[in-house]
Chain A
Amino acid sequence: MSILEIKGVSKTFPGANGGTVALQATDLSVQENDFITILGPSGCGKSTLLRMVAGLDAPTAGTIELDGRPVSGPGADRGMVFQSYTLFPWLTVLQNVCFGLREKGMREADQQALARQFIAKVGLEGFESHFPKQLSGGMQQRTALARALANNPRILLMDEPFGALDHQTRELMQELLESIWEAERKTVLFVTHDIDEAIFMANRVVVMTARPGRIKCDLPVPIGHPRHYSVKTKPVFSDLKARLTEEIRIEVQRAGGLLVAAA
């Protein structure tokens, strides 16, 4: 069953010469329990697309519907994890995770019980009363993930959430998110420019072209669950990686002006 419908959505940022087209008319349908990664070179409009789903930016044209209702602004039904560290620095880990629950008017005891469950899920027991600045980048993003999940959104939007982390931490975070997804089957839309990440996390990889962005191809990932990190060395993984590497390479070259006769 489709829960998110993106129909003919495009985005033009105002400016000289009619503005900058960030995203050409795009259609995307997200099914319940899908884990979709949106893969593309920087500046291809993939984050813009995600922000429009979140309601943080308005599309220039087209419609976005969640469960058949048009998206007109941000709301708790679409949780988001950002690339930058967006924990509230004046709140502890526990208070950060409670933020959305309090906004829902939940009783304080219930907020804390629920928040502690999610803090445990991301492996941060014992850090409940730490302030964000006392945590490493990876721990901050795990808290941000717990904060978004605790709110029980219909769909989880992730905008290069591990982009600022070092390689090793990023791989551990991918495995953590993968195991949480396998347990909860939350619908996820995940933006990244990392091909390994895109394949490892997703059931479907959506590849975008260079600016102005549009969807170039939409490939299923034929790897079952649960996924172990060793799957990254299996032929089925490397075949898909080889294909995606080619697709992305052309786009990066086009974006960099290295390919004169664009296909």
Chain B
Amino acid sequence: MKPLTQVNPPARLALGISFFIVFFLVWAAATLGGFVSKTFLADPITMVRSGYDLLVNQGFMNDIGMTVWRVLGGFALAAVLAVPLGVLMGAYKPVEAFFEPFVSFARYLPASAFIPLLILWAGIGEAQKLAVIFIGSFFQVVLMIAVSVGNTRRDLVEAAYTLGAGDRGIVTRVLLPSSAPEIAETLRMVLGWAWTYVIVAELIGASSGIGHMITDSQALLATDQIIFGIIVIGLIGLVTDFAFKAFNRKLFPWAQLGR
């Protein structure tokens, strides 16, 4: 192996999949071989069986749907407000000076620690779940976007000025398009984080959702169901991430050039 040398795509795919297989084999050996007690860790076969049971007989699809809608809802709400604010902060330094210290502080506030307060304020309904995701995503998105916009190449801005662009033109025709791929990339990353917040929100005071199923299974010591739930989250995360990446590539073909 030479450092930094590329592997071809088929080999890359094969390598990526083979680690999943290794992982499952080790898990199967540990559980089916009797090295780990069933109480602590279910084996893969039981996990798949109870997963099937969950999906077909216990309406788990409904839980998955609830969780997906909460993530997307909370995230969309955060993005719709955070992107314009981030762009304004990146473009206009006084706006940045006004918001930046507070946003930097607020982004370290752990979203999960707000859950008790949010239950008090918003009950245990959907508003509380959305609020957790919102708090977890909003401040991160604002800051990262402000940085991307603020890092726009100065020579491109100057070139636009010498071509007759005004201050508004600089924002809409240079700062925005030049940082758009990074903005999309930021949203993709933060959406991944939103998935962890939603599960935490559902562990406490929820009557549906993947997190709620996991808490229920905990009471029954059903490790097979817990693991199935975790794997479902992982798979949904993987699929949305791939979709988001493909979408970004399609949307910004120029950003892929020369990589």
* A residues whose Cβ falls under 8 Å from a Cβ of B: 54-56, 73-76, 78-80, 82, 84, 86, 88-91, 99-100, 103-104, 131, 133-134, 144, 147-148, 151, 157
B160 at the interface (CB under 8 A from A): yes
Closest to A57 in B: B158
- Asked, given contacts A88-B156, A90-B180, whether A56 binds B161 with beta carbons under 8 Å apart, the answer is yes
A133 to B256, CA, bound (A): 10
A2 to B249, CA, bound (A): 51
Contact check, B254 vs A89: say whether CB atoms are below 8 A apart: yes
Residues of B within 8 A of A82 (CB): 155, 158-159
Residues of A within 8 A of B69 (CB): none
- Asked, given contacts A99-B163, A131-B254, whether A88 binds B158 with beta carbons under 8 Å apart, the answer is no
A79 to B161, CA, bound (A): 9
Contact check, A88 vs B178: say whether CB atoms are below 8 A apart: yes
Task: Mark interface residues in B158-170 (1 if CB within 8 Å of A CB, else 0).
Answer: 1111111110010
Instruction: Select one of B164, B177, B253 contacting A76, CB under 8 A.
Output: B164
Instruction: Select one of B159, B162, B257 contacting A78, CB under 8 A.
Output: B162
Closest to A82 in B: B155
A104 to B165, CA, bound (A): 9
Contact check, B158 vs A56: say whether CB atoms are below 8 A apart: yes
A131 to B158, CA, bound (A): 20
Interface of A is mostly: loop
- Asked, given contacts A88-B177, A103-B169, whether A76 binds B163 with beta carbons under 8 Å apart, the answer is yes
Residues of A within 8 A of B165 (CB): 99-100, 103
- Give the contacts of B121-179 with A (CB-CB under 8 A): 155-156, 158-166, 169, 173-174, 177-178
A148 to chain B, nearest CB (A): 8
Residues of B within 8 A of A88 (CB): 156, 159-160, 174, 177-178
A55 to B174, CA, bound (A): 19
A90 to B252, CA, bound (A): 8
Contact check, A54 vs B254: say whether CB atoms are below 8 A apart: no
- Asked, given contacts A82-B155, A86-B156, whether A54 binds B257 with beta carbons under 8 Å apart, the answer is no
What total count of A-B pairs have CB within 8 Å? 75
A203 to chain B, nearest CB (A): 23
Closest to A84 in B: B155
B258 at the interface (CB under 8 A from A): yes
B178 to chain A, nearest CB (A): 7
* B residues whose Cβ falls under 8 Å from a Cβ of A: 155-156, 158-166, 169, 173-174, 177-178, 180, 252-255, 257-258
Closest to B159 in A: A86
Known: A80-B162, A88-B177; 15 extra A-B contacts, CB below 8 A, are A76-B162, A76-B163, A80-B158, A84-B155, A86-B155, A86-B158, A89-B178, A90-B180, A90-B254, A100-B164, A131-B253, A131-B257, A133-B258, A134-B257, A151-B164
Q: From B159, B160, B180, B258, name the one whose CB has the most chain A CB atoms within 10 angstroms.
A: B159
Residues of A within 8 A of B258 (CB): 133
Contact check, B254 vs A99: say whether CB atoms are below 8 A apart: no
Contact check, B177 vs A90: say whether CB atoms are below 8 A apart: yes
A77 to chain B, nearest CB (A): 8
Residues of B within 8 A of A54 (CB): 158, 162
Closest 7 CB pairs of A and B: A76-B164, A100-B163, A74-B161, A133-B257, A86-B159, A80-B162, A133-B258
Residues of A within 8 A of B257 (CB): 89, 131, 133-134
Residues of A within 8 A of B180 (CB): 90
A73 to B162, CA, bound (A): 9
Contact check, B177 vs A151: say whether CB atoms are below 8 A apart: no
Instruction: Select one of B156, B162, B174 contacting A74, CB under 8 A.
Output: B162
Residues of A within 8 A of B174 (CB): 88
A47 to chain B, nearest CB (A): 12
Residue pairs across A and B with Cβ atoms less than 8 A apart, 27 shown, are: A54-B162, A56-B161, A56-B162, A74-B158, A74-B162, A76-B163, A76-B164, A79-B163, A80-B158, A84-B155, A86-B158, A86-B159, A88-B156, A88-B160, A88-B178, A90-B177, A90-B254, A90-B255, A99-B160, A99-B165, A99-B173, A100-B163, A103-B166, A103-B169, A144-B159, A151-B163, A157-B162
